[in-house]
Amino acid sequence: MFKGSNVALITPFKDNNLDVEAYVKLIHFHLKNGTNGLVPAGTTGESPTLSHREHQQVIELCIKESKGTIPVIAGTGSNSTKEAISLTKHAEKVGANGALVVTPYYNKPTQEGLYQHYKAINDDCGIPIIIYNIPSRSVIDMSVDTMARLFELKNIIGVKDATGILDRVDEQKKKLGDDFVQLTGNDDNAFEFNKRGGVGAISVTANIAPKLCSDFQKFSLSKSDNEQKEAERVDKILQPVHRAMFIESNPSPVKYAAKVLGLCDDEVRLPLVRITKKTKDEVKVALSSAKLI
């Protein structure tokens, strides 16, 4: 169920409020362009600055508008275990297909603390849980051994790996087997990630290039030599866009790109700010290079 191009959905704002009209438009943009899964209320969706009601609302809108046609993996992570349980239970109640749970940021738990955090969520909820391992933002790095312990639990099914370490794919595959779902959180390494045993991505770039990203994933997951070559060709087209999305802090660049494409405004919530003119120019060049504008 969880493979291919899954979009880490941005959350559009208007006058510092959730722009429901733009959000629904975004969802249907993905439904029409081959996106394989929707990931609302993740960190690309600015979850740290969403109110609890907004957090719930963006998940509910994804489920309502997609009508079961593609999976919805709700972002439900927190550095408070109690809050993560509450968010995950809500996602389960309203019909999400899975939950994306980030490793607890700032608290800096030990590997045992990480295990107990996810175990508590697992024990209190009944939907598939994907671990989100992103040391660059969370400070901590979940070890392969801890992941293997968690995979023994009933609801832990895989990882969004944003370590940027490709050898992890091999290590995790060797330790946890083929049934453990490995999705990259780094658009730029998706081709090699899938070659090593990954099955897709939770993608920032897919917000603005859903068709290219879904085509790339389809080709890269094929065993056909011709489709592998096609995946490589599409990957080269996408690389400048991937780089441009992280010139400044995500999701400010991708929100500007979405504005250029007429999808939503580029408003972000403090402490994030809109990107500089220099970065805007670079984003436009990248979009142009991929023939997105």
| Cβ neighbours, 10 Å, residue 209 | 28
Using DSSP's 3-state secondary structure scheme, residue 69 falls into coil
* 73 vs 132: CA distance, rounded Å: 12
Assess whether 160 carries a catalytic annotation. Answer: yes
Query: In degrees, to the nearest 5, what angle opens at C-alpha 131 toward C-alphas 248 and 138?
Result: 40
| Catalytic residue selected from 115, 118, 160, 256 | 160
Does 105 qualify as catalytic in the annotation?
no
Active-site residue among 3, 132, 259, 280? 132
Which residues make beta-bridge pairs with 39? Answer: 8
Cis bond before residue 271 (omega within 30° of 0): yes
Distance, CA of 109 to CA of 79 (rounded, Å):
10
Coil, strand or helix at 202? strand
* Backbone torsions φ then ψ of 208, nearest 5 degrees: -115, -10
| Catalytic residue numbers, as ranges | 132, 160
